[in-house]
Structure 1
Amino acid sequence: MTADALLSRALVEEATKKSGLVWVRGSGPSRALWHVWHEGAAVLVGDGPGEQPLPGGLDAGATAEVTVRSKDKGGRLVAWTAGVAVLEPHSEEWEAAVAELKGKRLNAPDAEQLTERWARECRVVRLTPGASSTDLPDTSLAAPPLPTGATTRRTAPAALPRLLLKRRGRR
């Protein structure tokens, strides 16, 4: 490997390790996903009840585009092309990846049965880095938000800002 390729590989690894969130695009729109870096690849879990929805096209043998953001500023650091592998439940590779994922999974409603639920109902996907780029795009890459069931039921009362500021002043 050339020095540039080694530096590029190191940037991908360090940036992805430190960022708790990556943007992944398979065959559809990009999605922000939490992940862990394990044995040279980003590993994700999703597509099950209570877990993050994975973008379409993350099938074994496919490729995906991964964009890594800065943890402190949130801006784009590096983008890389990933080879996609779907890990087979209870395989040796799956067990090792799930052990890492379980440690990073926040607010799981069923922490004791988490790995069994993942084996039954979810997919664990490994994204192995390929080519990478630190070039910034010429366009903004802005996109409309994806549809979601999360909504605000009603607007905040008009007096709420005054009430909050009044409480802060009493302390």
Structure 2
Amino acid sequence: MTEHLLGRALVEEATKKSGLIWVRGGVAEGDGAPGAGDPSGGPGDGRALWHIWHEGAAHVVGDGPGEQPLPGLRAGGSAEVTVRSKDKGGRLVAWTATVTELEPGSEAWESAVTELKSKRLNATDTEGLRERWARECRVLRLDPVSSTTSHSDGSLAAPPAVSPATTRGAVPAGLPRLLLGRGRKRGRG
């Protein structure tokens, strides 16, 4: 009983303090580590999601235009969540969650959206955000079921998901000089 309570407290504190959580949807308990899978970002792959901790669970919003994708996360399903250290970036705790989709307009949805809206960075339409989320997005609640602090020895690092924002390629020839300031001398004015 004490171990369960300590695990729950670690999940809550670590998740509250982390800006991102890694979530892999559609897993059964003990089904492997989050982050595994191919880099295409398909269902079941680990994905970094911004979130809020509210009323004992993590809440995420997405699957709409301009919002984060939520692949593999289905109402009534389960998910594996990994929380990283804000200081060092290493895994602190992994936990299994049950996924619940909040009904737009419900008391739980309104409460979660109020918190999510306050943490949403770079929203293009802050005034109409609540209505757009109700119309076009899903708000999910991830309730912790079990947790573990033991991790596999291997790295769970994976290449970034393919997207227009991915910029893996050769470094431009002039970039090192620009960054290191080894260009021409600047005159004093």
Q: What TM-score comes out, normalization by structure 2 length?
A: 0.82
User: Would the alpha carbon gap of residues 139 and 111 (structure 1) be closer, same or farther in structure 2, given more than 3 Å must change?
Assistant: same
Aligned to 1:106: 121
Aligned 8 A contact 1:24 1:55 in 2: no
Q: How far did residue 141 of structure 1 move?
A: 2.4
User: Greater helix percent: which structure?
Assistant: 1
For the residue of structure 1 that corresponds to 2:128, the secondary structure is helix
Aligned to 1:61: 76
Structure 1 unaligned regions, length at least 5: none
Aligned 8 A contact 1:23 1:33 in 2: yes
Aligned to 1:88: 103
Aligned to 1:143: 158
- Indicate whether 1:52 and 2:68 are aligned: yes
User: Would the alpha carbon gap of residues 157 and 136 (structure 1) be closer, same or farther in structure 2, given more than 3 Å must change?
Assistant: closer
- What RMSD in Å do the two structures reach over aligned CA positions? 2.1
User: Would the alpha carbon gap of residues 106 and 7 (structure 1) be closer, same or farther in structure 2, given more than 3 Å must change?
Assistant: same
Aligned 8 A contact 1:42 1:126 in 2: yes
Task: Give 1:13's aligned amino acid.
Answer: E
User: Would the alpha carbon gap of residues 10 and 113 (structure 1) be closer, same or farther in structure 2, given more than 3 Å must change?
Assistant: same
Q: Deviations over 1:94-152 (max 9, x none)?
A: 00000000000001000000010000000000000011000021332233432212244
- Percent of matched pairs sharing the same residue: 71
User: Would the alpha carbon gap of residues 159 and 144 (structure 1) be closer, same or farther in structure 2, given more than 3 Å must change?
Assistant: closer
Output the CA distance in 2 between the equivalents of 1:140 and 1:157: 29
Task: Give 2:62's aligned amino acid.
Answer: G
Aligned 8 A contact 2:160 2:166 in 1: no
Output the CA distance in 1 between the equivalents of 2:150 and 2:166: 36
- Indicate whether 1:16 and 2:53 are aligned: no
Say which of 51, 69, 87 aligns to 1:35.
51
Q: What TM-score comes out, normalization by structure 1 length?
A: 0.91
Task: Give 1:31's aligned amino acid.
Answer: R
Structure 2 unaligned regions, length at least 5: 27-43
User: Would the alpha carbon gap of residues 161 and 125 (structure 1) be closer, same or farther in structure 2, given more than 3 Å must change?
Assistant: same
Q: Deviations over 1:39-92 (max 9, x none)?
A: 000000000000001121x11111100000011111100000001000000111
User: Would the alpha carbon gap of residues 29 and 153 (structure 1) be closer, same or farther in structure 2, given more than 3 Å must change?
Assistant: closer
Q: How many residues align?
A: 169
